[in-house]
Structures are given as structure tokens and as C-alpha cells.
Copies of this chain bind each other. A is one copy, B any other.
């Protein structure tokens, strides 16, 4: 494949696509120290649960709890906030709960909701190039800011989302590969845009069944992106991700981290998870 620009002009365009950023996101995964928890007197457990539920429900639709299947974690607490600083406060708010003594941190992920604008990056870059505007010149920067500003308003709801109220969560981090032969970051933008578009087409067929929130984590955590999928049927996660794995962008350029499935805990559900006693 010929990846080097065929004409001089496109080769000089920026390689990085425009992105919009919204909520700062923290995934906290905990193991529950149930043996220690159970040794506490019933009234102490009730008091700690009441404090925790008040604090967590006070966070509204910007924090949510999930029962994670398997040994990787028991509880996932998901926070969407206005800034990294507020994420720090949310983290301390959880750590400050009396109940936190019975939660052992097992994993976490720090990221920022991101919309990748491959389509409009390509259009804007090409149109500016046709007008002879040099990349990173003042005029260029002004035009880019205008484009971003327009999209930022249009996409506010996707940039600052509430946590969907679905039954199941699927979470995983991922990278784009930089292999010796197959290196995503060396592909020309038009080729990356084409592959991302094809990838998006698969997702669109699942639109009614899955809600997807992508967050970026380059410079913030160990993978480049994180994916949260929300659905009422966990099988849809498997079907969607399996189908996408055959897309060129996934088959060739995706590296995946660890996958987690969680069951949404509704208000009052924390007690059942801490106690691990089924209602009799």
C-alpha cells in the first residue's frame, strides 16, 4: 500500500485529527473485604451503608455503581465530572466513606470523554489547504477554533453525558497499534478517516441496542482510549465487538486491554452486594 502522500500539499497537513473533550471520567474497581465487613455489628453496617448511599445518590446521574462479574473486582464506581480536579474530589469522597475501609482498590481508569472528528478534520484541513492557509498560522488556528466551537455546541449532550441507566456495562481500554509494519500513526489521515468511517457503520446498526461512550486517555492512563458500552442485554456486547473485530481498523490496528462486565446496581443495591446474602 502506498501510504506516503501522492501530492506535496496533503502530506504537509497535520496528521492529528481534531477532537472535542467533555466530562472527566474515573472508573474505580474495588474488591469487597466481605469477611471483615461481616464481622461488623449489624447497626454499624446499616450506618455505613446509609452514609454511602446518601453520598452516592447525592452524586446524581454523574456517578453509578455496578456489580462486576468475576474476581477482577466486586464493585465498579463510575464518575463523570467537570474536571480532573472534581474527579479528585469524587475519589476522596468515596475514600472518605466509613464503608471504604471494606473496599480494596483493585483497578481504575482515568480518561476524558472524547469525540474524534475525523470527518470534519479532513474537510477543514483540505479546505484550508486549498485556500493556502498555512497550518498553525493565526488564520488557521482561528478557523480550527470556529469549527471546534460549532461542533462543541452541537454535541454538548454527547460531551457531557449522564450515565445511561442500562442494566449492563462493558468496559475496556484500547490502543491503536504501532507495529513494525502495521502502524496506525503512519497512515495518512484520509486512510484513517476511511477506516474509522467503515467502523462507525457497524456501530450504527447496533444504535438502538447499545449506547457507546468513548473517552481518550493518552497522557492520562496506560492505554490510549477507553470504551464504555451500555446495554440491557449483555450478549449484545459480544455480538457488537465480535463483528467489529473483522473491521480493518480493529483487526489490524486495535490492541485491547482487560474487559469487564458489570450489572447496574440500583439505589439500595449496594447492601446486597456488600452482604452477599440473597433475599430469603
Residues of A with Cβ closer than 8 Å to B?
14-16, 19, 21, 24, 26, 28-29, 31, 34-35, 38, 67, 69-72, 83-85, 87-89, 91-93, 95-96, 100-101, 105-110, 112, 136, 167-168, 170, 172, 178-183, 185-186, 205, 216-222, 229, 234-235, 237-243, 245-246, 248, 250-252, 254, 258-259, 261, 263, 272-273, 275-278
Do B100 and A34 touch (CB < 8 A)?
yes
Q: A112-B238, A170-B219, A219-B241 are in contact. List 6 more A-B contacts (CB 8 A).
A: A16-B242, A16-B243, A71-B107, A170-B220, A180-B180, A220-B261
Known A84-B234, A92-B273; judge A180-B179 contact (CB<8 A).
yes
Residues in B with CB closer than 8 Å to A237 are 219-220
Do B101 and A34 touch (CB < 8 A)?
yes
A110: contacting residue among B35, B69, B218, CB under 8 A: B69
The CA of A248 and the CA of B14, in the complex, are separated in Å by: 13
Do B251 and A178 touch (CB < 8 A)?
yes
Residue among A70, A248, A259 with most chain B CB within 10 A = A70
Of the A-B pairs whose beta carbons lie under 8 Å apart in the complex, a sample of 11, sorted by A's number, is A16-B245, A26-B70, A28-B70, A69-B84, A71-B108, A92-B276, A96-B277, A183-B252, A217-B259, A220-B237, A220-B261
Do A69 and B95 touch (CB < 8 A)?
no
The CA of A26 and the CA of B231, in the complex, are separated in Å by: 20
Residues in B with CB closer than 8 Å to A21 are 235, 238
Do B178 and A252 touch (CB < 8 A)?
yes
The CA of A24 and the CA of B105, in the complex, are separated in Å by: 27
Q: What copy number does this chain have within its complex?
A: 5
Residue among A92, A108, A217, A238 with most chain B CB within 10 A = A238
Residues in B with CB closer than 8 Å to A89 are 278
The CA of A248 and the CA of B3, in the complex, are separated in Å by: 13
The CA of A170 and the CA of B222, in the complex, are separated in Å by: 12
